[in-house]
Amino acid sequence: MTNSHVAVSGRQGQRILRLYHLYRLLIGFALVLLISSDLDGQLLELTNTQLFHYSSWGYLIVNIIAIASMHRVDRLAPLFSLALFDVVQLSVLFYAAGGTPSGIGNLIIVAVAVANILLRGRIGFLIAAVAAAGIIYLTFYLSISNSAASNQFMQAGILGTLCFAAALFVQGLSRRLRASEVLAEQRASDVANLEELNAVVIQRMRTGIVVMDSMHRVLQANQSALTMIGCEKLQGRILDPHFPALIQNLEQWLNNPALRTPAIQSAKNSTQLQASFVQLQNEHSSQTLIFLEDTSQLNQHAQQLKLVSLGRLTAGIAHEIRNPLGAISHAAQLLHESNNLDSADQRLTQIIQDQSRRMNTVIENVLQLSRQRQAEPQLLDLKYWLHRFASEFRSSVHPNRILHLTTKGSGLQTRMDPHQLDQVLSNLVENGMRYSGKLNPQSQVWLHLYRHPQTDLPTLEIHDDGPGVPLNDQQNIFEPFFTTENKGTGLGLYISRELCESNQARLDYSPRESGGSCFKITFAHPHKMSV
């Protein structure tokens, strides 16, 4: 006999065994109470009173010992011994109580049924066979000494048959229950694995996901959402104080679900977020599912696609323009060197050469833009990097051009391509120097690096004391080919903003109260996710 014949195990088996112990204990107490009150002789036709009394006390005592010592259901031998003892002891009581009229045969059927719940296969049928044989044999033995017992053979045969029927029924039912249990465990395991997989997928998604109830209490939030909102933990908290702009968008959406809510800025950083909402309804509660998309990442992708498309276009245009432009410039140069031209004609040829060079510069700038490589952000210490930039700039320019640098705070880091940052800053500083020299004997530009008090992001301001940008032109200065100078190409500021956006930074302009211009670069958070 192996443990494979044990039908149930675990918590379910423990519960069945405890109920079985309780049932036998109650039967034992009932028998002892019956003989203690001298009602056994009145209710039963006892054939052996002394044997009935001893067997009743023995049944109770043995069951108490079994309850105290037997707690596991994963061992076959104790279970088989308990079931066999139960059937044999009840069979003895069956004989002592006078056979089938006593009703103890029904207790034997119950014992067989419970035994076949705990035991499977042939072991269970063996218990049923022992019970049926005991009932039939003891009835036959009673008929020898008591002629009235000969009328009990039919009832005894029925009881024996019911023992096998109970065994067959219980084992068949147990097999179905075990199959259902195995299927349920498999389904539960599949569901648990699927939930674990979904949790991993949700946590790894770049889209921020927040689930909250009708009271705006966060039930779940993935890591992307925590990063976008700027909190380490949100689960179980009310979202309103952490991100009031998002709650405002939610209220707008609830009033008009067809409305596309405007982009919002994170409370902790400069990330631009686009929120979308889904209402989850069930019988007991109402929940809201929020999706947060980082529009700066989308803009970065769009920026790269735009640069690629622009490169393909400008490469073709530049090829078709530069060849005839070179011929025009060369012809104008040869004409300018002729001795047969008067001063007016020479002035005209000079204009042709100047404008040809200007057009060539525009083409070179456009080609430079189109060839712009994809940004490769690196973790930069802006204070150290700016000091090195200022030192290199001062060593390469005329002493009449002065660059000032001030920094405030520590830990001013960002992720940006250092070569592209150098290109942007060089362009802005050169512009500032040029415009400052128009009004002052010395050209001066001020660099001021600090941490923005509201966004907590590194911010660099580039100031000059030039004439500034007219109010009517301030909205157009970042447009391509827009310039207020005859010699300008109008691509410098456009390229600078494009490079900033490709690094998830932002370039803005604002006039100075004291006169001049102020360009402000708001850098991305150093731990911001890259795409």
Q: Residue ranges of the domains in the chain?
A: 3-186, 205-296, 298-370, 378-522
Q: What is the reported pLDDT for 72?
A: 64
What confidence score (pLDDT) does residue 459 get? Answer: 92
Q: Residue 447 has what pLDDT?
A: 93
Q: Which residue type is seen at 316?
A: G
Residue bearing the bigger pLDDT, 137 or 299: 137
Q: What are the beta bridge partners of residue 416?
A: 378
**What pLDDT digit, counting tens, does each position of 380-413 carry?**
999 999 999 999 888 888 888 899 999 998 878 8
> 114 versus 319: which is more confidently predicted?
114
**Highest-scoring range by mean pLDDT, 5-19, 25-39, 304-318, 506-520:** 506-520
Write down the residue that tokens 């035994």 correspond to. 115
**Residue 231: CA count within 13 A, CB half-sphere:** 21
Q: What is the CATH number of domain 378-522?
A: 3.30.565.10
User: Of 50 and 461, which is predicted with more confidence?
Assistant: 461
Tell me if the pTM is above 0.85.
Answer: no
Q: What value does the mean pLDDT take over residues 109-123?
A: 78
Average pLDDT, the chain: 79
pLDDT at residue 446 is higher than 70: yes
Which CATH class, in words, describes the domain spanning 205-296? alpha beta
Kindly report the three-state secondary structure assignment for every residue of 152-213: HHHHHHHHHHHHHHHHHHHHHHHHHHHHHHHHHHHHHHHHHHHHHHHHHHHHHCCCEEEEEE
Q: Give the other-Cβ count within 10 Å of 154's Cβ.
A: 10
Cβ within 8 Å of residue 303, ≥6 positions away = 498, 501, 502
Q: What is the mean pLDDT of residues 237-241?
A: 85
pLDDT of residue 299: 65
CA angle 263, 448, 266 (to 5 degrees): 20
Spatial neighbors of 514 by CB under 8 A, at least 6 apart, are 465
The more confident residue out of 405 and 94 is 405
Nearest CA to 370 out of 313, 291, 425, 443 is that of: 313
Q: What gap in Å lies between CA 212 and CA 220, rounded to an integer?
A: 7
pLDDT at 531 over 50: no
Sequence length of the chain is 531
Number of alpha carbons in the 13 Å side-chain half-sphere of residue 449: 21
Helix H, strand E, coil C: the string for 239-306 is CCCCCHHHHHHHHHHHHCCCCCCCCEECCCCCCEEEEEEEEEECCCCEEEEEEEEEHHHHHHHHHHHH
Residues contacting residue 89 through CB under 8 Å, at least 6 positions apart: 55, 58, 59, 62
Q: Which of 211-225, 254-268, 281-295 has the highest mean pLDDT?
A: 211-225
Per residue in 361-383, pLDDT tens?
A: 767 766 666 665 667 888 899 99
Q: 131-180 pLDDT, tens per residue?
A: 888 777 777 777 777 666 667 777 878 887 888 888 888 888 878 877 88
| Cα 193 to Cα 186: distance, rounded to the nearest angstrom | 10
Helices (H) and strands (E) in the chain, counts: 14, 12
Count Cβ atoms below 10 Å from residue 233 Cβ, excluding itself.
9
Among 487, 245, 201, CA closest to 362 = 487
pLDDT of res. 529: 44
Given a cut of 50, whether residue 530 has pLDDT beyond it is no
CATH class as words, domain 298-370: mainly alpha
